[in-house]
A and B are shown apart, each in its own frame.
Chain A
């Protein structure tokens, strides 16, 4: 095989790869339909934390709140709430919402997974 023919073949392969990548990443990428909550966009994650904080105002059930927050990943619940609280402060959440998050944060800082609350 002549070198020019080899170059032509390599160029064809490279073009094919480029076309394949373009099709697979841009035109028809893999569609995710069964995602987990830990890859939710930040505003949705914060809203989930806010919902948990609102629900906590109704039942004051730290165990249930921690379980709800666990949907968002394996981080400690207090860290998740702290991140949400920072987001809320940066994005003009209402005082009531921030107060709810603050209450939840306090509860999560004292929460122990075995159900005991530190004094």
Chain B
């Protein structure tokens, strides 16, 4: 009788304890959970993280402070900040957002990948230079070398050519001044300098692009348009910085001809198709192709 009473009391005690614990948990988890007031950016919701990255990239585009941008990205807690930037840029483009918005992200990813600040993008058109004409009016800067040439000019022996007018002689013998040689800017046209079939099963059907400037440094942010009989695709270099800042790729369909246009500079290449390769057993498979474009 006594032990039964004890057991009943113990049971009641445990039940009361459990009910109390349940009430306590309900209050602490549901009614009044711990509130965060000093959150770190790593806890931000994904869409806010995306906006945070855009602001980091925009700030970087303005101040070119790579270590600071790197530190700011680190507090977002991404496993790989470069991948996160590239993926976000690609998501933005896929969603139809203008390239101008995604470009700072791509540039920051590219600079982080290479470890230094690359040449900033110039939103305004790159100035073009015309070769100076011989008949142009000399400017203040041009008068100085001309005066130097005239000082060292030795008059021709006119004594034997008294009947010859003198004025043309001076003009003919003056050494022409060096003319300004324009250098290739971001808008300089690209030319196809390499077209290699890639017989690697891992690159099957892959059309790879590498775009470089005249110094053979890869350039990010160049728009490429690929068209074929059933459609069109457009994309940009630099969204896979782990493969190079000037790298881009596209998946081809077998037996399809593609036309390629590099938007900047207007390069156009026709009738590119996936090559046929043979594996060691002699079986055929569709390979890839590597197209290299370079500015002059």
Q: By DSSP majority rule, is chain A's interface helix, strand, loop, or mixed? A: helix
One of B37-45, B172-180, B241-249 contacting the partner: B37-45
For residue A89, CB closer than 8 A to chain B, the reply is no
Q: Which residues of B contact A68 (CB under 8 A)?
A: 51, 55
Contacts of A48 in B (CB 8 A): 52, 55
Partner of A24, one of B18, B28, B48, B59: B28
Are B45 and A34 in contact, CB atoms less than 8 angstroms apart?
yes
Residues in B with CB closer than 8 Å to A79 are none
> In chain B, residues 32-82, which have Cβ atoms closer than 8 Å to a Cβ of chain A?
33-34, 36-41, 43-46, 48, 51-52, 55-56, 58-59, 61-63, 72, 75
Residues 24-51 of chain A: 1 if any B CB is under 8 Å from the residue's CB, otherwise 0? Answer: 1100011011111101111010011011
Beta-carbon nearest neighbor of A64 in chain B: B58
CA A39 – CA B34 in complex, angstroms?
13
Give the docked Cα–Cα distance between A114 and B33 (Å): 39
Q: Which of A55-63, A80-88, A105-113 contacts B (4 or more CB under 8 A)?
A: A55-63
Number of A residues with CB within 8 Å of any CB on chain B = 45
Stretch from B19-27, B109-117, B126-134, B149-157 contacting the other chain:
B19-27
Give chain B interface residues in 256-271, CB to chain A under 8 Å. none
Stretch from B8-16, B86-94, B161-169, B277-285 at the A interface: B8-16
In the complex, the answer to whether B24 meets A30 with C-beta atoms within 8 Å is no
Min CB gap B137→A, angstroms: 37
With A and B bound together, what is the CA distance between A17 and B18 in angstroms?
8
Give chain B's interface residues, CB within 8 Å of chain A. 9, 12-29, 33-34, 36-41, 43-46, 48, 51-52, 55-56, 58-59, 61-63, 72, 75
- A-B contacts, 16 of them at CB < 8 A, read A8-B9, A9-B12, A10-B16, A16-B24, A17-B20, A17-B27, A19-B20, A19-B24, A21-B27, A35-B48, A40-B39, A41-B39, A44-B39, A48-B55, A54-B59, A71-B51
